[in-house]
Amino acid sequence: MNQVITNSLRYILPGNMQRADIITALRSHFSIEERDKSTDSISLIDSFAWGLYEKGFIAFRYSNNNIKIWHADELFDADQALDLYGNNSPARFWWDFEDTPERTLLEKSLGLRSLLSLYEGVLAVEDFDLQDASGKTQVFLQFISFYSAASTDKPLLLQVKITPVTGYAREYEQAAELLENAGGFKPRLNPADSLLGAIGITPAPYTVKPDLAIDPLMPARSAANSIVSQMITKQRLTEEGIIQDIDTEYLHHFRVALRMTRAVIAQLKEVYPEQDVLSLKQRFGDLARETNHLRDLDVFILDKPRYLSLLPDSLSKGLLPMFDDFETDREKEVQRIGKWLSSSAYKKEIDELEALFKNGYPAGETAWSEKPSIELAISKIAKRYNKIQKSALKITDDTPDEAIHSIRIDCKKLRYLLYFFGSLFNKKELNQAGKQLKRLQDRLGIFNDLTVQGAYLETYLDEIEHNEKKDIGLIAALGGLIATLYRMQKTERDSCISELHVFSAEKNRHLFTHAFAARGTDQ
Amino acid sequence: MKIIASYSIKGGVGKTAASVNLAHAAAKAGNRTLLVDLDPQGASSFYFRIGGSKKDRGHFFSPKKKRLLKNVKGSNYKRLDILPANLSFRNFDIMLNSMHKSKKRLKEVLLHLEDDYDLIILDCPPNMTLLAENIFIAADIIVVPVIPTTLSERTYAQLLDFFSAKGYKRKKLYPFFSMAQSDNKLHIDTIKSMDKNYARFMKSIINFSLEIERMGVHREPVLAYASKKSSVQAYRSLFNEIIVALNKK
């Protein structure tokens, strides 16, 4: 990065001003030479979750399928652009780009998300040199105009930037003064936000986690309703992306949102009438189950490189027909799910459920429905934590796998409670407790994944065993893979057990009981 | 930060043209570059439309970084700065002679700029004085323009002998053919024999070209106004070769 020239100044010209006004003003002191000029059709890109923007970056796709990424403060500064070169056309995921150090930034910002085109525009950059009579450049000047692709008559944003030349500080100050006197003003926003404002795009970062501030005294049912309402909204935001099959994260988040909704209903069941809880569980559960198969396929296909790497080269080729099967299956499932999400049956069902919770769930009071939410939170978190604690202490090397899986499920329930009610507790303590829980969950998660994957592959093996034509290579590879996963699962089990001992240690117990003790109301 | 010197015992062999164009190519490739005009005639400063530094005469070897940077001027090109020549550079040797550790002085001074520049290019005066020895120590690479004639070959051999005699690293020397004429039989033969007899000759050959001669009229690096001409592009490939060589160091 260039460190010599860091103190450029940017001005925005008001709508009634043009480049010519500025040039006229500067001519009183400088002779002006045009050096360079470029015009490009570009499109603003980011993921559905605005992953780049969230990390302080803004990116554009150029007509050659390459993209340029800028830090928000350095937008359109040619020296500061990070260039990424698309291998596939159109390059939508981070892995579609050439493997360069810059790609890591994309990987970290996008994860599994696809890039989307958010705005089509035209960028014109004109470079001028402000010189003295002998032709020595004393200040660099740049006009940056951004137009809508639909109309290039008048720029939506016109910026002028001056950059000093070493040894010509006085001239630089003079140019700045001339620009300000002519009407250029220093923007209050960074260049990226100035541009987004000018083109009328408001970044709407998406995260599936609940982000609610619940009042400690809010009645428990109202609190539960607001969580469910938010989760249904988040679920519905993913529908279009699933239908268009933009990336696998839409479906993943659709399912996470549903899982959170179901967790509210199952875990806070006392706030709703007993007879309703069963049917609500059933209805939301049906929605989730519809997507089980597609998600399984997504997970396997995303993990393809890892599976292949687990086997020696001679065997791993054998797996390819299985992945071909999965891909074909996936195509069909995507079609089916797309149709289902667009169906009036789905729409009617989700509209009905959404309305129910948005309208305050009109039903008779229950023992818990009107109590302060803080009381419900404390009681639920304590109960769940104690259950985990008790089971963890009982774990030995002889404990059956099922017991470990059941602790994992309790951990997940506890995690969701922390999501729902996090705003009621001390943030620092919440984060500490959350971190300990996450550590344990990660370990248990790996153990569970290995178990589930092994079982899935065994089912697949059962299926192909009945095929008339036996693919020996595939069967051998599957056998090898199942055995490998089994061995990994055994090792992982030991790690889980030691992690459970860490989690249930005295220090952690103190952390949890203190963080979620009954003292939330006075905060 | 790396230091490249453009040096020759002989004058008029294309030393300054190389410094100026290498500096331009370096900056264009994204390096923060400082061209130090050590030649009192100030030709490279002239090519960048910068006059000699008037103030602070004789303070070049000041241990104070601020004082050194005060004389630096930006060129018309981004990332390319010039430390202009100064007629008092004639006194370099007198100054150096009066200083302790005088052969390492230049290196010490330039190391002050480590955070400010990626590359420093030294345009050197054609002589073999104490300043030259400072240059030999300071530079990571010394590019030596050689006109492919018998006389130039002898001068280059003298330089190698001098390096051996004084214990300087001959591996720093990277000669390249300069002002070569592709229709001149003597040139062609000399290129062939020198290529065979001397190590590290650069593959890029800077041919004699009117475009390059006209730099004085344009007062710009030839890469800036005739970058598409093949005779001119050779500077760019020479720069690329230098970078490869530097990366091996």
- What average pLDDT does this structure show over B130-155? 93
Measuring CA to CA, how many Å separate A53 from each of A14, A44, A57, A67, B60?
26, 11, 5, 15, 47
> Residue B55's pLDDT is what?
53
CA distance B116 to chain A (A): 7
Contact A454, A489 (CB under 8 A): yes
- What average pLDDT does this structure show over A380-409? 92
**Same domain as A254, residue A138:** no
- Asked if residue A338 is part of any domain, the answer here is yes
Give tens-digit pLDDT for A414-468: 999 999 999 899 889 899 999 999 999 999 999 999 999 999 999 999 988 888 8
> Residue A521's pLDDT is what?
43
Please tell me the distance from the alpha carbon of residue A45 to that of residue A121, in angstroms, as a whole number. 11
Backbone φ and ψ for A359, nearest 5 degrees, come out as -95, 20
> Residue B101's pLDDT is what?
60
- Asked if residue A107 is part of any domain, the answer here is yes
What's the domain count of chain A?
3
> Residue A187's pLDDT is what?
87
The residue assigned the tokens 């963890």 is A392
The reply to whether residue A167 touches residue B78, judged by beta carbons under 8 angstroms, is: no
**Same domain as A150, residue A219:** no
B-chain CB neighbours of A168 within 8 Å are 73-74
CA distance A64 to chain B (A): 22
- What average pLDDT does this structure show over A255-274? 96
Confidence label for B62 from pLDDT (cuts 50, 70 and 90): low
What residue of B is the nearest CA neighbor of A139?
Answer: B76
3-state secondary structure B162-223: HHHHHCCCHHHEEEEECCECCCCHHHHHHHHHHHHHCCCCCCCCCECCHHHHCHHHHCCCHH
Please indicate if any CB of chain B lies within 8 Å of the CB of A5: yes
User: A11: closest CA among A194, A148, A168, A193?
Assistant: A194
**Same domain as A121, residue A23:** yes
Strands B73-74 and B80-83: antiparallel
B-chain CB neighbours of A163 within 8 Å are 78
Q: Does a cis peptide bond (omega within 30 degrees of 0) precede residue A90?
A: yes
Half-sphere exposure of A466 (CA within 13 A, CB side): 4
Contact A293, A335 (CB under 8 A): no
Please tell me the distance from the alpha carbon of residue A414 to that of residue A417, in angstroms, as a whole number. 5
What residue of A is the nearest CA neighbor of B46?
Answer: A136
> Residue A13's pLDDT is what?
86
The reply to whether residue A4 touches residue B49, judged by beta carbons under 8 angstroms, is: no
Please indicate if any CB of chain A lies within 8 Å of the CB of B80: no
Q: Is pLDDT above 90 for B227?
A: no
- Asked if residue A4 is part of any domain, the answer here is no
CA distance B130 to chain A (A): 30
The DSSP code for A97 is B
Q: Is pLDDT above 60 for A4?
A: no
Confidence label for A17 from pLDDT (cuts 50, 70 and 90): confident
Q: Is pLDDT above 50 for A5?
A: no
Q: Is pLDDT above 50 for A2?
A: no
User: B125: closest CA among B235, B43, B52?
Assistant: B43
Give tens-digit pLDDT for A330-350: 999 999 999 999 999 999 999
CATH number of residue A473's parent domain = 1.40.20.10
Confidence label for B53 from pLDDT (cuts 50, 70 and 90): low
Q: Which of A150-154, A405-409, B66-70, B134-138 has the lowest mean pLDDT?
A: B66-70
Backbone φ and ψ for B7, nearest 5 degrees, come out as -140, 145
> Residue B148's pLDDT is what?
95
Q: Is pLDDT above 70 for A396?
A: yes
**Same domain as A498, residue A395:** yes
Dihedral over Cα of A511, A512, A515, A519: its sign: negative
Please indicate if any CB of chain B lies within 8 Å of the CB of A130: no
Please indicate if any CB of chain B lies within 8 Å of the CB of A63: no
The DSSP code for A40 is E
Chosen for mutation from B77, B78, B218 (greatest number of chain A CBs closer than 10 Å) is B78
Confidence label for B40 from pLDDT (cuts 50, 70 and 90): confident
pTM: 0.80
CA distance B124 to chain A (A): 23
User: A460: closest CA among A300, A335, A224, A290?
Assistant: A300
CA distance B211 to chain A (A): 20
**Same domain as A293, residue A167:** no
Which residues 170-199 of A are in CB contact (within 8 Å) with B?
A: none
B-chain CB neighbours of A4 within 8 Å are 32, 79, 81, 116-117
The reply to whether residue A167 touches residue B72, judged by beta carbons under 8 angstroms, is: yes
Measuring CA to CA, how many Å separate A356 from each of A184, A353, A359?
53, 5, 5
- Asked if residue A304 is part of any domain, the answer here is yes
Please indicate if any CB of chain B lies within 8 Å of the CB of A8: no
Mean of pLDDT over chain A: 92
3-state secondary structure of B32: coil
Please indicate if any CB of chain B lies within 8 Å of the CB of A165: yes
Q: Which of A35-39, A151-155, B145-149, B176-180 has the lowest mean pLDDT?
A: A151-155
Please indicate if any CB of chain A lies within 8 Å of the CB of B79: yes
The reply to whether residue A129 touches residue B76, judged by beta carbons under 8 angstroms, is: yes
Q: Which residue has the higher pLDDT, B130 or B98?
A: B130
Question: Percentage of chain B surpassing pLDDT 70?
Answer: 89
**Same domain as A45, residue A190:** yes
Long-range contacts of A334-338 (CB under 8 A, 24+ apart): A334/A245, A334/A294, A337/A242, A337/A243, A337/A251, A337/A290, A337/A291, A337/A294, A338/A242, A338/A243, A338/A244, A338/A245
Picking from B49, B75, B78, the nearest residue to A79 by CB comes out as B78
Please indicate if any CB of chain A lies within 8 Å of the CB of B144: no
**Same domain as A224, residue A178:** no
Helix (H) or strand (E) holding A399: none
B-chain CB neighbours of A79 within 8 Å are 30, 78-79
Give tens-digit pLDDT for A18-45: 888 999 999 999 999 999 999 999 999 9
Q: Is pLDDT above 60 for A1?
A: no
A-chain CB neighbours of B66 within 8 Å are none
Please tell me the distance from the alpha carbon of residue B236 to that of residue A352, in angstroms, as a whole number. 70
User: What is the Cα A50 distance to its own chain's centre?
Assistant: 7
> Residue B128's pLDDT is what?
84
**Same domain as A387, residue A351:** no
- What average pLDDT does this structure show over A348-366? 94
> Residue B71's pLDDT is what?
82
DSSP per-residue codes, A307-345:
HHHHS-HHHHGGGHHHHHHHHHHHHHHHHHHHHHHHSHH
- Asked if residue A488 is part of any domain, the answer here is yes
Picking from A134, A164, A166, the nearest residue to B72 by CB comes out as A166
Please indicate if any CB of chain A lies within 8 Å of the CB of B49: yes
DSSP per-residue codes, A475-508:
HHHHHHHHHHHHHHHHHHHHHHHHHHHHHTSHHH
**Same domain as A375, residue A353:** no
> Residue B52's pLDDT is what?
60
**Same domain as A353, residue A251:** yes
In terms of residues, how long is chain B?
249
A-chain CB neighbours of B76 within 8 Å are 129, 131, 135-137, 165
Contact B38, B124 (CB under 8 A): yes
3-state secondary structure of A129: strand
**Same domain as A376, residue A350:** no
DSSP per-residue codes, A202-249:
------SS------TTSBHHHHHHHHHHHHHHHHHHTHHHHHTT--HH
Confidence label for B94 from pLDDT (cuts 50, 70 and 90): low
- What average pLDDT does this structure show over A389-395? 91
The reply to whether residue B74 touches residue A79, judged by beta carbons under 8 angstroms, is: no
Give tens-digit pLDDT for A75-106: 998 888 999 999 877 899 999 999 999 999 99
The reply to whether residue B74 touches residue A3, judged by beta carbons under 8 angstroms, is: no
What residue of B is the nearest CA neighbor of A134?
Answer: B49
Q: Return the CATH fold of B2-248.
A: Rossmann fold (3.40.50)
Half-sphere exposure of A82 (CA within 13 A, CB side): 17
> Residue B90's pLDDT is what?
60
3-state secondary structure B48-113: CCCCCCCCCCCCCCCCCHHHHHHCCEECCCCCEEEECCCHHHHHHHHHHHCCCCCCCHHHHHHHCC
- What average pLDDT does this structure show over B212-230? 87
Query: Longest Cα pair distance anywhere in chain B, in angstroms?
Result: 52
Range of the domain at A60: 9-199
CA distance B175 to chain A (A): 31
DSSP per-residue codes, B121-159:
EEE--SS-SHHHHHHHHH-SEEEEEE-SSHHHHHHHHHH
Q: Which of A199, A233, A262 represents a domain boundary (last residue)?
A: A199
Please indicate if any CB of chain B lies within 8 Å of the CB of A128: no
Q: Is pLDDT above 70 for A57?
A: yes
> Residue B249's pLDDT is what?
75
Q: Which residue has the higher pLDDT, B57 or A372?
A: A372
Which residues 386-445 of A are in CB contact (within 8 Å) with B?
A: none
Please indicate if any CB of chain B lies within 8 Å of the CB of A167: yes
> Residue B44's pLDDT is what?
86
